[in-house]
Structure 1
């Protein structure tokens, strides 16, 4: 964990609320000079002061202790997607990684392939959107043929399977929460 600058976070939240140093100091019942020193990293606030500042700024106390997200890590270039190939089916991770509560990927199925031999289930919900080609999805005992622009929601624990019984490549964009690939 890198060093977290609580003072910079206090300043960011204060400015987002459009408070002056004097206004926030009054709400938090500390002196303006103390608040200024906290924001400039010249004073370390006590836990009690952090709690009062969080309440005054209407943010969770833990928000002062969270690391900043490096936005460059949130961008995934199409040429840099993580890829996995299993039995001619490829998966391209659209989201940067499997951290967090959601992962999105593209499943590519060549003609005459299936996602698995039998129906599978997992603990996460899934929403799938057909990007190209036709695909048959089997949900429990029901079969549906989906075409580009069609989508399906698959609830947690529902048995399902994807089959490309057609003569063209199929690509399906899907998101799963929590991530389970």
Structure 2
């Protein structure tokens, strides 16, 4: 079995989307020079780089490796299967964030499914100036702390608070809590 030719597939998809190397670099956070090297087959990208590129282009990693590139998304409906939803966990494993927002929305509006185990705390550093978070609790009770204030949000409640300061979301209860977390940047 031969090594997949990723560069030409990436280049075709980038051009089909009408993107320059610079625009894809901005969307994916992969440098323009690295993109150029990958497209020309002069660099072997890491998994993290491939993940960033596939998310920025709206294609599946399997399609990239197989060489298949779906047509441009103009006028189509994109279905993202559960296994393709990226997930992050807190260092202690008690908080899980599933990233539902598309990569091109990063830094504008991002939305996540948040699951917090009993005793779990999601601590966050300050986001960009003017950023806010909107936390809608589906199950359980979550305690939100931001800017020295602290409030409990129960199932059905939405907490809105500044996220441009250190903040946290904690599950002080005895059952798992689930919520929708939206981060809005100005």
- With the shorter chain as reference, the TM-score category is 0.5 to 0.7
**Contact between 1:126 and 1:155, CA under 8 Å: does it hold in 2?**
yes
Q: State the Cα RMSD in Å.
A: 2.6
Structure 2 residues not aligned, in runs of 5+: 1-14, 19-71
Q: Does 1:115 align with 2:122?
A: yes
Q: Hey, what's the Cα distance between the residues in 2 that align with 1:82 and 1:130?
A: 21
Q: Hey, what's the Cα distance between the residues in 2 that align with 1:78 and 1:2?
A: 26
Please list the CA deviations of residues 16-71 of structure 1 after superposition, one character each: whole Å capped at 9, or x if unmatched: xxxxxxxxxxxxxxxxxxxxxxxxxxxxxxxxxxxxxxxxxxxxxxxxxxx76363
Please list the CA deviations of residues 68-89 of structure 1 after superposition, one character each: whole Å capped at 9, or x if unmatched: 636343x334454221222211
Cα gap change, 1:156 to 1:143, in 2 (>3 Å): closer
Q: Which moved more, 1:100-109 or 1:75-84?
A: 75-84
Query: Which residue number in structure 2 is paired with residue 91 of structure 1?
Result: 97
Cα gap change, 1:167 to 1:178, in 2 (>3 Å): same
State the aligned residue count. Answer: 113
SS at match of 1:99: helix
Q: Hey, what's the Cα distance between the residues in 1 that align with 2:185 and 2:146?
A: 20
Query: Which residue number in structure 1 is paired with residue 162 of structure 2?
Result: 155
Q: Hey, what's the Cα distance between the residues in 1 that align with 2:166 and 2:142?
A: 17
TM-score by length of 1: 0.54
SS at match of 1:106: strand
Cα gap change, 1:99 to 1:108, in 2 (>3 Å): same
Q: Hey, what's the Cα distance between the residues in 1 that align with 2:157 and 2:17?
A: 47
Q: Hey, what's the Cα distance between the residues in 2 that align with 1:156 and 1:143?
A: 13
**Contact between 2:145 and 2:151, CA under 8 Å: does it hold in 1?**
yes
Q: Hey, what's the Cα distance between the residues in 1 that align with 2:109 and 2:175?
A: 29
Which structure has the larger Rg? 1
TM-score by length of 2: 0.52
